[in-house]
């Protein structure tokens, strides 16, 4: 039986690349599209066995692979709904910049967690697997400055006390609100952080008098303490680590998170 030229070319390209079940001969770039000019999602290490993506198709010279994640991505705050879900069709980028490469476009339901606020951008840990593409005819060298284990994949979360949000290692923003829970972001949760006052002499008054900082020293949320019992002296918690139990919601402009506190407790 004669092979067509197209089939022969495909077979040749496949044989030239990594065999199914065989480890890669060198560190290999995984692109978001089957094109060497497209953004690089991550790098697979030498000796790593690519996981084929059976539901995806790839042109000759390329192989569709599945990347398990999680992935660190950024979305503009305007692309979050009032329940802190990612709007379908929103661009999830690799950096908090409008010209940063798009790793993936958000689907109807995204399993993601807020890990930080960067001005008008929200940092997310995207949990679902993604499909990438590697060249089968040749491995793309890894730049000297690149580290395969640190590209695209989100950092492993620090140990967290069950049911408590806001605890992390120093200098690291942490997972706080689940975005893919069908709107249950409005259910009360416990958040951990440092209770601070936003009032400053001779400075304009902030929307709320108190805020919660994460372990990196960044403001995670303004605190609405109007529901805290009148007998509770909230000032005694200033500059101390606390557990704040309440409901988080986006602010009016979508750039801030407001936490309506029901109870406060020293950590």
Of the candidates 217, 215, 255, 209, the one whose C-alpha atom is nearest the C-alpha of residue 117 is: 255
Find residue 262's DSSP bridge partners: none
**Three-class SS state of 234:** helix
Q: Is there a domain that residue 77 lies in?
A: no
Looking at the fold, whether 210 and 260 belong to one and the same domain comes out as yes
Determine how many CB atoms are found less than 10 A away from the CB of residue 173: 18
Looking at the fold, whether 145 and 248 belong to one and the same domain comes out as no
Looking at the fold, whether 12 and 134 belong to one and the same domain comes out as yes
Q: Is there a domain that residue 29 lies in?
A: yes
Q: Yes or no: say if 238 and 197 are a contact pair by the CB < 8 Å rule.
A: yes
Q: Is there a domain that residue 112 lies in?
A: no
User: Tokens standing for 262?
Assistant: 């029901």
* pTM for this predicted structure: 0.50
Looking at the fold, whether 199 and 246 belong to one and the same domain comes out as yes
3-state secondary structure 127-141: CCCEEEEEECCCCCC
Q: Write the CATH number for 65.
A: 2.30.30.40
Looking at the fold, whether 235 and 189 belong to one and the same domain comes out as yes
Strand blocks (E) in the chain: 28-31, 40-44, 62-67, 71-76, 91-93, 102-105, 112-118, 121-126, 130-135, 164-165, 189-197, 210-213, 219-224, 240-250, 257-266
164-165 and 189-197: which strand pairing? parallel
Q: Write the CATH number for 261.
A: 2.40.50.140
Q: Is there a domain that residue 42 lies in?
A: yes
Q: Is there a domain that residue 230 lies in?
A: yes
Q: Yes or no: say if 213 and 219 are a contact pair by the CB < 8 Å rule.
A: yes
The DSSP secondary-structure symbol of 14 reads H
Looking at the fold, whether 202 and 258 belong to one and the same domain comes out as yes
In this predicted structure, what is the pLDDT of residue 62? 92
69: left (phi over 0), alpha (psi -120 to 50) or beta: left
Domain residue limits at 233:
181-266
Looking at the fold, whether 32 and 144 belong to one and the same domain comes out as yes
Looking at the fold, whether 207 and 249 belong to one and the same domain comes out as yes
Q: Yes or no: say if 88 and 108 are a contact pair by the CB < 8 Å rule.
A: yes
Looking at the fold, whether 134 and 36 belong to one and the same domain comes out as yes
Please count the structural domains in the chain: 2
In this predicted structure, what is the pLDDT of residue 133? 93
Looking at the fold, whether 200 and 145 belong to one and the same domain comes out as no
User: Tokens standing for 19?
Assistant: 């065999």
Q: Is there a domain that residue 101 lies in?
A: no
User: Tokens standing for 94?
Assistant: 């690799």
Determine how many CB atoms are found less than 10 A away from the CB of residue 79: 18
Please enumerate in sequence order all residues whose Cβ is within 8 A of that of 226, keeping only pairs 6 or more positions apart, or say none. Answer: 260
Whether the link from the prior residue into 70 is cis, omega within 30° of 0, is yes
In this predicted structure, what is the pLDDT of residue 197? 93
Q: For residues 236 and 192, what is the distance between their CA atoms, to the nearest angstrom?
A: 16
In this predicted model, what pLDDT tens digit does every residue of 38-80 receive, in sequence order?
888 888 888 888 899 888 888 999 999 999 878 889 999 888 8
Looking at the fold, whether 140 and 243 belong to one and the same domain comes out as no
Looking at the fold, whether 261 and 144 belong to one and the same domain comes out as no
Show the low-confidence residues of the chain (pLDDT under 50): 1-17, 139-185
Q: Is there a domain that residue 81 lies in?
A: no
Q: Yes or no: say if 164 and 223 are a contact pair by the CB < 8 Å rule.
A: no
In this predicted structure, what is the pLDDT of residue 18? 56
Q: Is there a domain that residue 262 lies in?
A: yes
């Amino acid at each position: 039986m004669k092979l067509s030229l197209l089939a022969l070319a495909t077979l040749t390209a496949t044989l030239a690349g990594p065999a199914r079940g065989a480890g890669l001969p060198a560190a290999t770039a995984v692109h978001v599209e089957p094109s060497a000019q497209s953004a690089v999602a991550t790098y697979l290490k030498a000796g790593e066995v690519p996981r084929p993506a059976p539901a995806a198709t790839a042109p000759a010279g390329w192989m569709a692979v599945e990347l398990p994640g999680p992935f660190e991505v950024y979305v503009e705050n305007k692309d979050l709904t009032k329940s802190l879900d990612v709007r379908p069709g929103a661009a999830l980028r690799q950096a908090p910049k409008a010209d940063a490469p798009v790793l993936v476009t958000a689907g109807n339901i995204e399993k993601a967690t807020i890990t930080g606020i960067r001005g008008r951008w929200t940092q997310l840990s995207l949990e679902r697997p993604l499909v990438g593409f590697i060249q089968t005819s040749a491995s793309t060298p890894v730049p000297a400055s690149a580290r395969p284990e640190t590209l695209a994949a989100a950092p492993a979360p620090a140990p967290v006390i069950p049911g408590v949000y806001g605890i992390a290692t120093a200098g690291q923003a942490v997972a706080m609100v689940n975005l893919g829970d069908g709107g249950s972001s409005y259910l009360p949760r416990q958040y951990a952080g440092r209770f601070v006052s936003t009032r400053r002499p001779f400075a304009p008054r902030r929307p709320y008098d108190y805020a919660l900082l994460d372990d990196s020293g960044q403001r995670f949320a303004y605190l609405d303490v109007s529901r805290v019992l009148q007998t509770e002296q909230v000032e005694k918690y200033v500059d101390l680590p606390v557990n704040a139990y309440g409901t988080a919601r986006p602010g009016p402009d979508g750039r801030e998170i407001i936490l309506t506190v029901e109870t406060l407790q020293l950590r």
